[in-house]
Chains A and B, each alone.
Chain A
Amino acid sequence: AQSVSQHNHHVILSEAASLELGCNYSYGGTVNLFWYVQYPGQHLQLLLKYFSGDPLVKGIKGFEAEFIKSKFSFNLRKPSVQWSDTAEYFCAVNPYTSGTYKYIFGTGTRLKVLA
């Protein structure tokens, strides 16, 4: 069955530190990839998405992610985090070429940024 793994469950950083959150998925076909963010008390919002083309995608608030097909990875990065980035981050995969349009989410990474 398709799955998504996020290996970092809790991350604590100081402001201005660099961030990289890992995401790996298990499906050999073509996929659409997403990172969502959930700020405290708010609903899930899209950070960025990859459908095709340039494997380095840029999203909102200075976030970017790199799709590495050979590694089945879609890691999220930000060069310098801010206190306002404190949130939970979810990687998601839509393995649409498998005949399903469901979206599979990872378990999430809870990020805390210390001021």
Chain B
Amino acid sequence: DTGVSQNPRHKITKRGQNVTFRCDPISEHNRLYWYRQTLGQGPEFLTYFQNEAQLEKSRLLSDRFSAERPKGSFSTLEIQRTEQGDSAMYLCASTTSTGELFFGEGSRLTVL
């Protein structure tokens, strides 16, 4: 499968724990995006990278959230000291400069 891959698909954690999600984009795609989606809402922008550079972060992204794309390939999204409000589906998408986003299956986070 050469699509966008996300791991883990589902993570259940206790409040206060740290979690990390990984995204492997389509190999030739230079832009990588992270979104968050909750029930009944559309994908909410978190951040995006062009190659290894993080070019934009949402103001909604608190300092507990950090994302990296160290070699311009895969990316990680870490959430520190999780809160119940962090429970959501975390989506990764990638694209070339032409603009169509290709989404992964998502990583569902449940914070107890």
Within 8 A of A (CB), among B23-51: 31, 33, 35, 40-45, 48, 50
For residue A74, CB closer than 8 A to chain B, the reply is: no
Contacts of B55 in A (CB 8 A): 101
Within B42-82, the residues touching A (CB, 8 Å) are 42-45, 48, 50, 55-56
Minimum CB distance partner of B41 in chain A: A107
Stretch at the interface among A14-22, A44-52, A76-84: A44-52
Interface residues of A in 3-54 (CB under 8 A from B): 4, 6, 9, 32, 34, 36, 43-46, 49, 51
Asked if A63 lies at the interface with its beta carbon under 8 angstroms from chain B, I say no
Chain B residue contacts of A96, Cβ below 8 A: 99
Q: Which of B88-109 contact A (CB under 8 A)?
A: 91, 93, 99-106
A103, B101: Cβ atoms closer than 8 Å = yes
Cα distance A68–B102 when bound, in Å? 25
Q: Which of A34, A44, A107, A108 has the most CB of B within 10 A?
A: A44
| Contact call B105/A43, Cβ cutoff below 8 A | yes
For A106, the closest partner residue in chain B by CB is B42
Q: Are A34 and B42 in contact (CB under 8 A)?
A: no
Q: A44-B43, A44-B91, A90-B43 are in contact. Are A103 and B103 (CB under 8 A)?
A: no
Q: CA separation between A103 and B42, bound complex, in Å?
A: 11
Which of B56, B99, B103 is close to A32, meaning CB atoms less than 8 Å apart? B99
A selection of 17 A-B contacts at a CB cut-off of 8 Å is A6-B42, A43-B103, A43-B105, A46-B101, A46-B102, A49-B100, A51-B99, A92-B42, A92-B101, A101-B48, A102-B33, A103-B101, A104-B45, A105-B43, A105-B44, A107-B42, A108-B40
Chain A residues engaging chain B, CB cutoff 8 angstroms: 4, 6, 9, 32, 34, 36, 43-46, 49, 51, 90, 92, 94, 96, 100-108
